[in-house]
Amino acid sequence: MESLTTPPPIRRLPLEDVEAATQVGASPWAPSNGNGAAAPGRFTAARRSIGAPQFSIRRMEIDDVSVSYADREAVKSVSLPVRQGEVLALIGPSGCGKTTLLRSLNRLTELTRTATLRGRILLDDVDIRQIEPTALRRRVTMVFQQPNPFPMSVFDNIAYVLREQGSRRQRKKALEPKVHSALERAGLFEEVKDNLDHPALRLSGGQQQRLCIARALAAEPEVLLLDEPCSALDPQSTQVIEDLIVKLRDDVAVVIVTHNLQQAYRIADHVAFMYLGELVEYSSATSLFGAPRERRTQEYVSGAFG
Amino acid sequence: MTNTSVATPQTAPPPSVTPSPPDQPLPGKGAVEGSATWRLSDRIGLAICWGLGLLFCAIAAAIVVYLFVQGVKFLKPSMLVTPATAGFTESQTGGFSDAFIGTLIVAAMGISIALPVGVGVAVWLVEYGRPAALARVTESTIEAIAGIPSIVLALFGTVIFSSTALGFLSRTSEGVVFGRSFFAASSMLSLVALPLIVASTREGLNAIPQHVREASYAVGKTKIATTRRILLPSARPQVATGAVLGLGRIIGDTAIIVVLLGATQNFAPTDGILPLNYLRGAGTTLTNFVYEASPTGNLNQPQKAYAAAFVLLMMVLVLNAAADVIHRRARKAGTWSH
């Protein structure tokens, strides 16, 4: 039974640059950029042809931010820029504070009673503590690890975001264009346009997650936070979502937390490596993976720990 | 990290299959584990479980079948629309329309008090629960109410509803408050249903993963909007279950009816405008009618007791079926992974 079909090749970060190209090129879901042969060299094989960012505008500024839960410090004096036009990936082993940092960007950490934040986070040069939380969270929206559409129809999931708080006002007809455009931006419209009134929880996992992205986009945010959006999904859905994230970077600043180093390498323009709450290294994806400055980064991306 | 697990087709080891010893029994069809290999004590335990399960099924079936047979034999549709009257034989004493309508009134009033209060308490306990001490006290209060026998609630109810301040809720004559009315009985009956609704709603709210709430907050929704539009709709099946269980308890209660509704065999309206005069007056329900009509009761007309009991049973079965439908529909709509 074992040698009837060739098992799919396992994508991995090449340490020694020799075998990388062939390994990835044979993958059925890897994009065909010249059958792998045209892309030799460190890391470039796994990289999709996403191209360099066209522009980058600074939207958020994390300035010396520390977050503590009771007396445990989860994030220690981190400073980072968040730019529109780019994808920023936060990587690091479990418990390194990357999700906490992400959640503090739209003040979701405040839902945890014991959490305290020091330092400043600026959104378009305004301290986010001066913005009303509900207003802030419409400008900095978030997609979670588990797909979590609301228990209503596909249409209502988006309409819920567009309507005022708990209100049901604004008729379906009036909201239709906005709902459709949100679904289109998330690349879901073609698949669900005939079933907009079906329950959202009946969609497949990948579709549910794209619905969650559509929902997050419907609020017309400036920053989109993604907390390991693909970790519950199969490889095909993951690729669809990765393509989508890259497409979105021009419209919103994208911050993605990921456990998956290859994913960070494939889609991120800048990568921040965090370890035990500290920001160890922040640089462009190619240099962080290709020529890390810090020893801990080097060890982590090469798989020595994590 | 996948670096360490590079597997090429050539080096992948075949799954090692060691032939099982011949004396071991082969797994049966569908890989169901048989109890033949179990210890004797476990097999006896399993047999007892089976026996008890079948016994309970048999008891339930016996009750339903017996009441069904008796009910079909004795129930005439006219009984549901004819009030009870005085007479010497069962054919002269009319039906039990007042008791039937009384049950409906008590159920509707009781649940319309218990449902909003119960859901409100559950939402507060699960979603807010601050200050923590108050939440703990509330929790144990609800548990205490669940444990109080309804006859004790009834007795307590007479104290409350006989007070002059609440005289407008029942018959009053020359300054003496009668304290027995649909208002009084329904209020106390709502306490019987309340713990079931609270427990069931809490269960429903607790089953919603935290990240679903956060997803709603993360698009700028307030806690109230999230509760109204996301949490309560998600918990609807459990709320419905609690309501149905509560209704069953309300419909089935006798003690509060006897003590707080007066247990007259007919409506005894007071003066006043139409619905209020009936609700302020005394009345009866099916449970009380069954008791009175049974051979131990004052009316002693067992045929009508069976007929009324059959109607009561049907009401409860319909309610349970409704809860089942709601649950099945909810399961079809899907849910989240945690």
Name the residue among B4, B211, B333 with its Cβ closest to that of A148.
B211
Per-residue confidence at A7, pLDDT binned at 50, 70, 90? low
- Report pLDDT for B233: 92
Q: B260: which DSSP letter?
A: H
Contact criterion met (CB below 8 Å) for A263 and A233? no
Q: Which two tokens stand for residue A115?
A: 């959490």
Whole-number Å distance between alpha carbons of A200 and A207: 9
**Which chain B residue lies closest to A198 (C-alpha atoms)?**
B333
Look at A179-183, A237-241, B331-335 and tell me which has the smallest mean pLDDT.
B331-335
The C-alpha of A13 sits at a distance from chain B's nearest C-alpha, in angstroms, of 7
Interface test with A, best of B210, B217, B219 (most A CBs within 10 A): B219
Tokens 């990357």: give the residue: A98
Name the residue among B14, B217, B334 with its Cβ closest to that of A108.
B217
Give the CB-side neighbour count of residue B142, counting CA atoms within 13 A: 22
- Report pLDDT for A44: 47
The C-alpha of B228 sits at a distance from chain A's nearest C-alpha, in angstroms, of 7
3-state secondary structure of A30: coil
Contacting residues of B for A142, CB less than 8 Å apart:
214-215, 218
Per-residue confidence at A17, pLDDT binned at 50, 70, 90? very low
B14 contacts A2? CB cut-off 8 A: yes
Per-residue confidence at A34, pLDDT binned at 50, 70, 90? very low
Chain A / chain B CB contacts < 8 angstroms? 114
Percent of chain A with pLDDT over 90: 57
Per-residue confidence at A117, pLDDT binned at 50, 70, 90? very high
> What are the distances in angstroms from CA A66 to CA A42, A78, A107, A115, B272?
35, 7, 13, 10, 69
- Report pLDDT for B32: 67
Contacts of A287 (CB under 8 A, 6+ apart): none
Both ends of chain A: CA-CA distance in Å?
A: 34
Q: Which two tokens stand for residue B338?
A: 């945690």
The C-alpha of A4 sits at a distance from chain B's nearest C-alpha, in angstroms, of 10
What is the tens place of the pLDDT at every residue in B149-175?
999 999 999 999 999 888 888 888 888
Contact criterion met (CB below 8 Å) for B199 and B242? yes
- Report pLDDT for B176: 85
B209 contacts A142? CB cut-off 8 A: no
Q: Which residues pair with A126 in a beta bridge?
A: A123
B334 contacts A201? CB cut-off 8 A: yes
Peptide bond into B131 cis (omega under 30): yes
Return the closest-CA partner of residue B7 out of A262, A303, A23, A22: A23
A137 contacts B217? CB cut-off 8 A: yes
Which sequence spans correspond to the domains of chain B?
Answer: 39-74, 78-331
**Which chain A residue lies closest to B212 (C-alpha atoms)?**
A148
On the question of pLDDT at A174 being above 70, the answer is yes
**Which chain B residue lies closest to A7 (C-alpha atoms)?**
B9
On the question of pLDDT at A231 being above 50, the answer is yes
B214 contacts A165? CB cut-off 8 A: no
On the question of pLDDT at A42 being above 90, the answer is no
3-state secondary structure of A275: strand
Summarize the confidence of residues A103-130 as an average pLDDT.
92
Sign of the Cα torsion B132, B137, B142, B143 reads: positive
**Which chain A residue lies closest to B334 (C-alpha atoms)?**
A201
CATH 3.60.40.10 is held by the domain B78-331? no
Contacting residues of A for B209, CB less than 8 Å apart:
146, 148
Name the residue among A138, A145, A146 with its Cβ closest to that of B219.
A138
Contact criterion met (CB below 8 Å) for A72 and A100? no
The C-alpha of A231 sits at a distance from chain B's nearest C-alpha, in angstroms, of 13
Contacting residues of A for B211, CB less than 8 Å apart:
144-146, 148
B230 contacts A10? CB cut-off 8 A: no
Contact criterion met (CB below 8 Å) for A221 and A141? yes
Question: Does residue A58 or residue A24 have the better pLDDT?
Answer: A58
> What are the distances in angstroms from CA B302 to CA A234, B93, B171, B316?
66, 12, 32, 21
- Report pLDDT for A146: 92
Q: What is the 3-state secondary structure (H, E, C) of A60-96?
A: EEEEEEEEEECCEEEEEEEEEEEEECCEEEEECCCCC
- Report pLDDT for B247: 94
A6 contacts B6? CB cut-off 8 A: no
The overall average pLDDT reported for chain A is: 83
- Report pLDDT for A30: 40
Contacting residues of B for A160, CB less than 8 Å apart:
216, 219, 221, 229-230
- Report pLDDT for A1: 46
What is the tens place of the pLDDT at every residue in A262-291?
899 999 999 999 999 999 999 998 889 888
Phi-psi region of A159 (alpha: psi -120 to 50; beta: other; left: phi over 0): alpha
B233 contacts A151? CB cut-off 8 A: yes
Name the residue among B2, B215, B335 with its Cβ closest to that of A12.
B2
- Local confidence pLDDT in tens for the 338 residues of chain B: 344 444 444 444 444 445 545 555 555 455 667 788 889 999 999 999 999 999 999 999 999 999 999 999 999 888 888 888 888 887 888 889 999 999 999 999 999 999 999 999 999 999 998 899 999 999 999 999 999 999 999 999 999 999 988 888 888 888 888 889 999 999 999 999 999 999 999 999 999 999 999 999 999 999 999 999 999 999 999 999 999 999 999 999 999 999 999 888 889 888 888 888 899 999 999 999 999 998 888 888 889 999 999 999 999 999 989 888 988 888 877 788 76
Predicted ipTM > 0.85: no
Per-residue confidence at A24, pLDDT binned at 50, 70, 90? very low
Evaluate if pTM is beyond 0.90. no
What is the tens place of the pLDDT at every residue in A211-230?
999 999 999 999 999 999 99
B337 contacts A232? CB cut-off 8 A: yes
- Report pLDDT for B243: 94
The C-alpha of B28 sits at a distance from chain A's nearest C-alpha, in angstroms, of 24
Return the closest-CA partner of residue A290 out of A11, A20, A58, A10: A20
- Report pLDDT for B252: 92
The C-alpha of A136 sits at a distance from chain B's nearest C-alpha, in angstroms, of 7
B336 contacts A147? CB cut-off 8 A: yes
Contacting residues of A for B128, CB less than 8 Å apart:
none
Per-residue confidence at A90, pLDDT binned at 50, 70, 90? very high
**Which chain A residue lies closest to B224 (C-alpha atoms)?**
A166
Phi-psi region of A254 (alpha: psi -120 to 50; beta: other; left: phi over 0): beta
